[in-house]
Chains A and B, each alone.
Chain A
Amino acid sequence: MSFARYLGIRIFNALLVLAFVTFVVSILFVKVAEDDARTRIAEIINGEARNPAILRLKASDPEAFEKWKRNREEQLRREFELDKPFWERVISKTKNTLLLDFGNARSPVFGEIKVSKIIEKAIPRTVLLFTTAQIIITFIGLLLGIKAAQKAGKAVDKVLSVLAMLTASLPMWWVGMVFILIFAFQLGIFPASSLPNPNLEGIQYYRDLLWRMMLPLVTVVFVSFGGWAYTTRNIMITTMHEDFITVARAKGVPERKVIYGHALRAASPPIVTNVIIGLLGSLGGAIITEAVFNWPGMGRLYWVALQQSEVNLLMGVTYVTVALFLASMIIADVIYGYLDPRVRVGR
């Protein structure tokens, strides 16, 4: 099987998963929306029934009032598309969602009312924050991990394992709250809200953005780098035990070159996949961490959608997150295949 064909199958698989998830989610969504619409209809009719003309009608001719009520309800049901059969609504919802048409939010978020526009604004911000964080984490993690692998069992190694265990037990979003307490409330160095100031322009805007990004960035890095360094260490130790490293050392290759040239090259496929898996894993914590910091990305959208029960927004955000997740998994595969030739041929 050629790599292209393998990739094609992977993408096809991912699309299938995406379609299926959207379908299941649509079933739930249509149910929630139905309950929502029912209460809205009842509210509207009750509101209109307080109209003096209707009140008079109710007093003089109860039967006509009932008839009006029935007609009005029928009309509203059509408006909210409750007259269509359940499965038809589910399928149309699935189709619309797959085509990125999520409908409108009830009140504007980030100055937009269309859900797809809102998400379009949020994604780059999330990517900016978490990609930057991941680059820093990878860098620190590699340095520390290799150091620990070289001195396995010594003090550096032990400190790193303890650090990894401690930080892995901390919820990222809680660390964010504590950092706000320390750095924003107590010391006043960084702002408590990371919402960028939209009135600034040019270089000023970017400086403000960087300043506001600092605290969430430090939080993500602080929580993740220990565990990541520990993973790197484990992968490196396994590689360092392989025969070709012994050979390289035996023939007198300098230690630096053995580690960075031979061992790291061989260890890179699992390391790269782990970076991407780590990035995906941080997605969960990221959702809440963003909410804590008011960082206007996808996580913030989740928070807003849940707090204001914006069903359309929630649906849109979930769909996009799942799609991004699946896409990143494929990218991880492609990179793995590029770095490790064994994957490309046959499986």
Chain B
Amino acid sequence: MRLEDVRESVKDFAHEFRYQKGGIIGLILLIILVSAAVLAPQITSPDVAKRWSKEFWVENPPNVPPTWINYFSSKKLAPHQVYSINDLEILDGGDGEKILRIVYESNYDVPPKDIVLQGFKVSSHDVKNKPRMTVVLKRPDGLEVKLIEDRMISSNTVIQIATNTEVKNNVFKWSKEVSDIELKPVEEIKLQALMDTMKILFGKIDENIFKQPTPLHGKYVLEIRIKTVDDGDVLDLSGFSVIFSGRTFGLMGTDSKGRDIWAGLVWGTRVSLAVGIAVAVLSVLIGIVYGVASAYFGGWKDETMQRFNEFMFSLPVLPILILLGAYFKGHVDLFQIVLLLVLFGWVGVAKVARSMALQIKEQTFVEAARALGAGSGRIVFKHIMPQIMPYAFSQMALSVPYAVMTEAALSFLGLGDPTAVTWGQMLYDAQNAGATINGYWWWVVPPGLAIALVGLAFVLLGVALDRILNPRMRTL
């Protein structure tokens, strides 16, 4: 084939492809998926793959739904918000006092789960005279709550407003004062133990404040005053952040380890596409070569190769794969998964390729080539292969969904690569965490849809290729 011919046939192909609606949709899906895979570090963050399987993502709230759920529900849930030092208003209170301010607009019916203050860096000479912090919350109704008063801070200080005992006592005392509720001592102890600090802080002051606070909407101001007493102390707030730990998180919510499911979805595209395409291309190529070789050699060689093919064909794939996966003790890396899938992937293709090659072999142009003295290699690669390639291309596209699904199935059984971010693994974690019976739909639905999307993209492409490249099949 000359270069011009190739260009011509590509042009023809592109022209015909334009009329394949399904093929166009498949191509668009594929472009989206590939860009997600390539741009994963930019879309999410570059350290996702490294952190995914190793740690809890403590900075995120675990098991919360995506933020957009608020559009569909009448009960608005507070989203996850992180304020770094640059997002804070910093004022100088004079006398070595620094005031950090956050204006928090709350229109939510369920307040944040927690407010976490962290990232202080303090170096001081005198242990007893460290910088002191006071935290005050100014509410939209004009009231002010002192959450923390003159607390010494050091480098490892992390304050969780929702669970901190000092805060709890302060808030309880404050709310008793402002609401004028008479409590018996026994009741008081019980209420104090059971109260939800955050709901009271963000709730209306009325008789229900302890039992069922109604949310108070409006502008809240969180003020953090830090006073450096000793002149020699250095207070570095560059790493300081305030986290309003949300009842919802990001685009897709989080799982039980606080991992961002959106990040997992985007990164999962990489493994899925890589495994799917690698398996499809390798197994189809091997299948074609095997089939054509078998047909071309003929005789006892053909017979032996066909026996072996039949043997492979009569094995149930998944049970054997599971057993092999168990043999690797459930730590199968991606390369091994590809090999295992290829091991069973070529069989069907080889059968079809053989029968196609048998037909082509008997045609007159092959006979003519042989009469002109063409060698085996020339006949196989110049005359037989080009005729089979169209079939190979569509078959490659159609094999991808199978490979993707089998990989996901193995991962789902816990036989995947535990260090990789894969959709099957996410579903495995979801199953083990009882996501279905707890109703964590944002953890179960997206990975499966992603698998289906990859499958659909390649099925559509494969069918379109089949229609164009194998015109004989078009009547079906």
- The interface of chain A, by Cβ under 8 A from chain B, is 13-14, 17, 20-21, 25, 28, 31-32, 165-166, 168-171, 173-175, 177-178, 180-181, 184-186, 192, 234, 237-238, 280, 283-285, 287-288, 291-292, 302-303, 305-307, 309, 311, 314-315, 317-318, 321-322, 325-326, 329
Contact = CB atoms under 8 A, between A and B. Distances in A.
Given A17-B311, A173-B409, A177-B430, A28 B324 contact: yes
A177 B431 contact: yes
Contacts of A178: 444-445, 448
Contact of B327 (A31, A302, A321): A31
B377 interface: no
Contacts of A168: 401, 455, 459
B415 interface: yes
A177 B436 contact: yes
A184 B315 contact: no
Nearest to A234: B476
By secondary structure, the B interface counts as helix
Contact of A306 (B22, B320, B322, B459): B322
Contact of A303 (B316, B413, B436): B413
B408 interface: yes
A57 to B, nearest CB: 36
A237 B455 CA distance: 26
Nearest to A280: B316
A237 B316 contact: no
Given A318-B322, A318-B323, A174 B448 contact: yes
Nearest to A14: B314
Interface string B423-462: 0000100110001111101001101100111111001100
Nearest to B26: A165
B80 to A, nearest CB: 23
Interface centre among B316, B453, B455, B460 (most CB of A within 10 A): B316
B431 A17 contact: no
B316 A284 contact: yes
Nearest to B438: A185
B436 A185 contact: yes
B326 A170 contact: no
Most B C-beta atoms less than 10 A away, residue of A14, A169, A175, A314 = A169
B414 interface: yes
Contacts of B401: 168-169
A17 B439 contact: no
A263 to B, nearest CB: 16
B420 to A, nearest CB: 18
A178 B327 CA distance: 31
A164 to B, nearest CB: 9
Contacts of B415: 306
Nearest to A284: B318
Contacts of A13: 310
- Per CB-CB distance, the 10 closest pairs between chain A and chain B, nearest first, are A169-B455, A174-B448, A284-B318, A325-B316, A180-B436, A169-B456, A169-B452, A321-B319, A185-B439, A28-B327
B427 A306 contact: no
Given A14-B314, A174-B448, A302 B322 contact: yes
A152 to B, nearest CB: 9
Contacts of A21: 315, 320
B412 interface: yes
A302 B413 contact: yes
B437 to A, nearest CB: 5
A283 B316 contact: yes
B319 A318 contact: yes
B317 interface: yes
A321 B311 CA distance: 16
B316 A321 contact: yes
27 contacts: A14-B314, A17-B315, A165-B456, A165-B459, A166-B456, A168-B455, A169-B456, A170-B452, A171-B409, A171-B448, A171-B451, A174-B444, A177-B436, A177-B444, A178-B444, A181-B436, A181-B439, A181-B441, A185-B437, A238-B476, A283-B318, A287-B322, A302-B319, A309-B326, A311-B326, A314-B326, A326-B314
Contacts of A305: 326
B405 interface: yes
Contacts of A174: 427, 444, 447-448, 451-452
Which among A170, A174, A237 has the greatest number of chain B C-beta atoms within 10 A?
Answer: A174
A17 B322 CA distance: 19
Contacts of B455: 168-170
A302 B310 CA distance: 26
A329 B316 CA distance: 11
Contacts of A326: 314
A314 B320 CA distance: 10
Contacts of B329: 32
A288 B413 contact: yes
A170 B448 contact: yes
B423 to A, nearest CB: 9
B412 A173 contact: yes
A245 to B, nearest CB: 15
Contacts of A288: 409, 412-413
B456 to A, nearest CB: 4
Which of B319, B324, B431, B447 has the most A CB atoms < 10 Å from its CB? Answer: B319
B62 to A, nearest CB: 19
Interface centre among B326, B427, B463 (most CB of A within 10 A): B326
A184 B456 contact: no
B35 to A, nearest CB: 20
Given A17-B314, A178-B445, A303-B413, 8 more contacts: A171-B405, A171-B452, A177-B444, A178-B444, A285-B409, A317-B319, A318-B319, A321-B316
